[in-house]
Structures are given as structure tokens and as C-alpha cells.
Amino acid sequence: LETIQNASKIILPGVGAFDNGMKNLQEYGLINILNKKALDEKVPVLGICLGMQLMTQGSEEGNLPGLGWFDAKAVKFNLAPDLKVPHMGWNYINQNDKNNLFLKKDKKYRFYFVHSYHVKCNNENDVLFTTHYGDEFNSAIQKDNLIGMQFHPEKSLHFGMDIFESFVKL
């Protein structure tokens, strides 16, 4: 807890199931300190994969509420039978016109994905990037100091390093 209390930036990683992720945050006593840092102190928080999903209201995958930082929910892919779930492998992101501190507008970025659920935002202003896999889905979200990415920048070579370098500079 002391490490988080003193943090100037937080990365909320995650691999696994939604309810297990929320149970772990609860069991380790992290929910209150994360809320304080993210919502009160406005410390930049980067949620990766499940970490992004935990920032929402909840998930179709489980029954527990999420952190509720975004008016959004994680939903299961509903794809044509020829597309496999989980969505796994390299895919391009589409940047919108939102002011994006992370990536250059004139460069094509691709990232490594492994997920069966994606975040559906109720506020389109929270959508930072989208990705096409059978349909368009939100692959990154941002609201003020809160950022979530469905892909894994840590597995995405120099593309991911650009993300981390930008996050460190925030």
C-alpha cells in the first residue's frame, strides 16, 4: 500500500477473469487507495487488458462491480463463426480526432491483443482508439488522468514502448 500511496503514476495490469481481478483488489485492500489516487489526487493510471476492464462498471464475464471509473461495461465478443475468440495476435488501432498524448497521428500502430471481452463505453468521448476485428471495438479509452488499453503494450515491441514512454512523460 505504501508504494501505491507514494506513486506518481500507476499501471493497473491484468490477465484473467473479471471477478477474480476485483476479488484480488478487494482482498489486498487496494480499492480505496486506488480510488483515492485516481479520483482524488488525479494520478495518471494506465489500465492494461483486464486492468482496463476493471476500470468500468462491470463485465458480462462476472457479477462483481468494477471500479466504476468509466461509464462502460466489458462485453463478450459476438462475432461471425469464422472469427475465433479470443481475439489473439497483432492488430492495428484507429486513432480518432481526440487529442492523443500517446501516439503520432501520421503513423500506423499495431499492438498485440489477447482478449475475449472488450469495453463498450456509454460516452463516446471516452473512446481513444478503436480496432477492427469482425466489428469495430474500443481498444483504448481515456478520461482525464484515466487511460485504459485493451491491447498489451508490454508485448508490442517498439509500438508498446511508445505508449510507455508517453505515459512516463505525463
127 Cβ contact partners less than 8 Å away, ≥ 6 residues apart: 96, 98, 121, 138, 140, 141
Residue 170: Cβ within 10 Å count: 13
Q: Which residues are catalytic?
A: 49, 152, 154
**Which helix (H) or strand (E) element contains residue 76?**
strand 72-76
DSSP string over 129-150: EEEEESEEEEEEEEETTEEEES
For the chain, where are the alpha helices, taking DSSP H only? 2-5, 18-27, 31-35, 50-54, 157-169
Dihedral class, residue 68 (left if φ above 0, else alpha if ψ from -120 to 50, else beta) = left
Contact (Cβ atoms closer than 8 angstroms) between residue 60 and residue 76: yes
Q: Which three cell numbers stand for residue 139?
A: 481498444
